[in-house]
Amino acid sequence: MSETVDNKVTVLVLQHPQEQDHALGTAGLLAQTLADARLAVGLSWRNLGHALGEPGEARDWGVLYLGSAHATGPGPLIAVDRKGATLPNQEMALSGLKGLVVLDGNWAQAKALWWRNAWLTKLRRFVVVPDGPSLYGNLRQEARPDAVSTLEAVALALSALEDVPDMREKILVPFRALIAKARAAGVQGGKRDRRRRR
């Protein structure tokens, strides 16, 4: 097990039930890696407090938003409005953020989580802009070329929010180990290559 990474911004991962048994899933890994992270598995929660398991104010929280593949801005984390347009005052949008909600699942599952939890629309919206392709490579099919794993997205977001440049690499350590193990086992496209000799 890799070292625990201290984070000031709480991370709440809402995981689609069909994603929890995925061999290459990263939500559980993320919850184990971060000092302040919670993992909630399900389809819908009444409100932020219900999902979090304690009181939480929507105004203090953000959500990594699914839309806006075309958001542009000065960094890996961009605040957007309800229509997915980049907000003009990024610094103000980021200030005072206490927590970040992340949806875990494939695109269809993440969209289902978004639509089943109307309270998410009350949170500040952010998109991550990766600086390269996912570490998954050919191990897991993604709906968009700019898609990254839940763990990679959170690593980018937290390194920007907390202004700790090496935080991203610390969070990625267990994911890199998972990827190496999967490749060594002959996993391709999320499935093991049965033709490979042992």
List, for residues 13-35, the tens digit of each pLDDT value: 999 999 877 777 889 999 999 99
- The CB density around residue 42, as the number of other CB atoms within 10 Å, is 15
The pLDDT of residue 195 is: 39
In this structure, is residue 21 part of a structural domain? yes
User: pTM surpassing 0.85?
Assistant: yes
In this structure, is residue 1 part of a structural domain? no
The pLDDT of residue 198 is: 38
In this structure, is residue 2 part of a structural domain? no
The pLDDT of residue 191 is: 44
In this structure, is residue 43 part of a structural domain? yes
In this structure, is residue 188 part of a structural domain? yes
In this structure, is residue 86 part of a structural domain? yes
The pLDDT of residue 181 is: 84
Distance CA 66, CA 163 (A): 23
Number of domains, the chain: 1
The H or E element that residue 12 is part of is strand 10-15
Contacts of 185 (CB under 8 A, 6+ apart): 192
Distance CA 93, CA 97 (A): 8
- Nearest in space to 161 (alpha carbons), one of 82, 56, 91: 91
Residue 53: give the domain boundaries. Answer: 10-192
The pLDDT of residue 14 is: 97
The pLDDT of residue 197 is: 38
In this structure, is residue 198 part of a structural domain? no
**CB of 122 closer than 8 Å to CB of 82:** no
**CB of 187 closer than 8 Å to CB of 23:** yes
**CB of 61 closer than 8 Å to CB of 124:** yes
In this structure, is residue 3 part of a structural domain? no
pLDDT-flagged residues of the chain (< 70): 1, 67-71, 73-74, 133-146, 188-198
The pLDDT of residue 192 is: 44
Distance CA 26, CA 28 (A): 6
